[in-house]
Structure 1
Amino acid sequence: MTTTPLYAPAAAEPRARFRDLVAAEWIKVRSLRSTFIAYGSTAVLVLAFNVGTAYDTYKYWAEQNVPDRAKFTRDGIPLQEAFNANAAVIMMLALGAIGALMVVGEYSTGTIRTTFAAVPARRSVLAAKAVVVAAVTTVFGACVAGASFALTQAILDGRGVGVSIGHPGALRVVLASALLAPVCALTGLALGTVIRQTATTMIATVVVILVLPMVFTDGRHWSAVVGHTMPYQAWRRLVEVEFSPPTAFPWTTGGAWTVYAVWALAATALAVTSVHRRDQ
């Protein structure tokens, strides 16, 4: 005799596709009001520093003597004011914190347990986070760097010293400033995944992104070599103009672009691998 089971066995739940994980992480990002506040306030501060510098030049242009006016463009000052060091520091710190909070926020609230319960493939979850962080911050960096260049050069053009994007070195300044955002955000994401505590992660992010580049200077060869491996020093090298004074230990723009790529890839790899080796 054969018997018919009262209940049919439940169908196995299909494994989550990576694009679904990316979509889920994107929903997390855009559903938080703090996301728009963080990105908006960062954009305002960065633009304020750059536009303020350009406007200061515009306002006090008449006080400069004729020789200084003549070499203003030749020395690359318009490109320096398109995205200055203060604006770069603000963006580095802010984007590093935003990247860290992408994962630390879930650990602090405990929602990461729900995520890992729904998707046991932890490495896939962190890889999806890294993709979303890289994509969003790249778009953000491009918008801010492009807007900053356009606004500052429009102001300087009022004195006849603004330059176009086709000016030698201008596109490199915009790209270097834009890509600084995802590099720092991925670094923060990696530190947050490893440390998992908000305060400690923020301190570590400041140390790695800002303090270490200041510690390793060009005073000694070994110190210069270590310093050249930092994103901030790479950005400074990329935004240098052709007529910048030579340094004791020069390096190439290709090396600076390599630093960007290595930091982004290493940070992503660290975030993906570390979450698989530790318990929640």
Structure 2
Amino acid sequence: MTPVLDKAPVRHPVRSPALFRHLLAAEWIKLWSLRSTYWVLGVGALTVIGINVNSAASNADRLAHQAQRPPEPAGIPHRPEFLFDPLHTAFVDPAWQLFMIIAATVGAIALFGEYSSGLIRTTFAAVPDRRAVVAAKVTVVSVVMLALGTLVSGTSFGVTQMLLREHGGLSLGDPGALRAVAASALVAPLCALVGMSVAAAVRHAAGSIVAVIALLLLVPALFEGERYRWVKEIGNAMPLSAWERLVTNPERAHDLGKYPLTVTEAWIVYGAWATAAAAIAVLVVRRRDV
């Protein structure tokens, strides 16, 4: 009679949870695996810098021509020169509004791209902790956009003020200069986080982009009036309004009109939007089905 041997228990491999640094590495690879990331960030940065540099060069030529203009003949009233703000040339509104949309688009793509491709199901199957996944995505996107914002802001300021060195060009030590550079650098990760939060809620490519543009640019335009204070206060609570306040030359602060933001309030708007956007992205992805 053949003896019956006891079967050894089957040992399944123990699955260790993914560490946060592993999630960061994965999100880094996802972000840079798309060629569109290189093109959007590269072309966007060059466009913003180019607009600012062109503004500085144009102003430098105009100032040089004014300096060479012969004096007005006697009896002819003196024509006032155009008001010139060297700090404004580094932070031209259309250029930085475009940069805000680019940053928000990159943040939105980082999230809704996984939903549209179906990769999000694989991601959550491998890492069930959705909060950790989104937190890693928020961290990677914020760091990348902060680096890009610092590069664009610093380059724009440095090149434009070099072109204007003979016409009142500024240095970082001048009043308001460092604040403007820092605010413009931080607006990139801020808008990227806003884009991520919108994408988490909308989960549609075209819908997310339209919603981001409306939120960042159209809503502030709708609340620019100064007739009613509550209308102006709503407009002041938007990221664009906070950025415009922070890049304003202190010598031009008296031109801000009624109910202006203070510098402290503008920084609070930055912090509130960044915190709320990150929280919404984490909460929405955690609670909604894939």
- Shorter chain as denominator, the TM-score bin is over 0.9
8 Å Cα contact 2:63/2:167 also seen in 1: no
Is 1:223 the counterpart of 2:231? The answer is: yes
8 Å Cα contact 2:161/2:169 also seen in 1: yes
Number of residue pairs matched by the alignment: 274
2:160 aligned residue (152, 159, 164): 152
CA drift at 1:268: 0.4
CA drift at 1:60: 2.0
Match of 1:14 in 2: 16
Choose 1 or 2 for highest CA Rg: 2
Change in Cα spacing, 1:2 to 1:82, as seen in structure 2 (3 Å) is farther
Match of 2:109 in 1: 101
Identity of aligned residues (%): 42
CA distance in 2, matches of 1:86, 1:254: 24
Change in Cα spacing, 1:48 to 1:6, as seen in structure 2 (3 Å) is same
CA distance in 2, matches of 1:231, 1:3: 73
CA drift at 1:255: 0.5
Match of 1:191 in 2: 198
* Pairs within 5 Å for 1:1-280: 4-6=6-8, 8-64=10-66, 68=81, 72=84, 77-157=85-165, 159-219=166-226, 220-244=228-252, 245-280=255-290
CA distance in 1, matches of 2:199, 2:51: 28
CA distance in 2, matches of 1:249, 1:232: 16
CA distance in 2, matches of 1:115, 1:62: 59
Q: Which runs of 5+ in 1 are unaligned?
A: none
What are the Cα deviations for residues 167-197 of structure 1, in whole angstroms up to 9, with x where unaligned? 1110011001111101100000011111111
What are the Cα deviations for residues 94-128 of structure 1, in whole angstroms up to 9, with x where unaligned? 11111100011111111111111111111111111
Secondary structure in 1 matching 2:164: helix
CA drift at 1:207: 0.5
CA distance in 2, matches of 1:50, 1:186: 25
The one-letter code of the counterpart of 1:83 is F
TM-score, length basis structure 2: 0.90
- The more displaced of 207-216 and 7-16 is 7-16
- The more displaced of 50-59 and 60-69 is 60-69
Q: Which runs of 5+ in 2 are unaligned?
A: 70-79
CA drift at 1:34: 1.4
Change in Cα spacing, 1:228 to 1:5, as seen in structure 2 (3 Å) is farther
CA drift at 1:33: 1.6
CA RMSD of aligned residues (A): 1.8
Match of 2:72 in 1: none
What are the Cα deviations for residues 225-254 of structure 1, in whole angstroms up to 9, with x where unaligned? 111110000001111122222421122101
CA drift at 1:87: 1.3
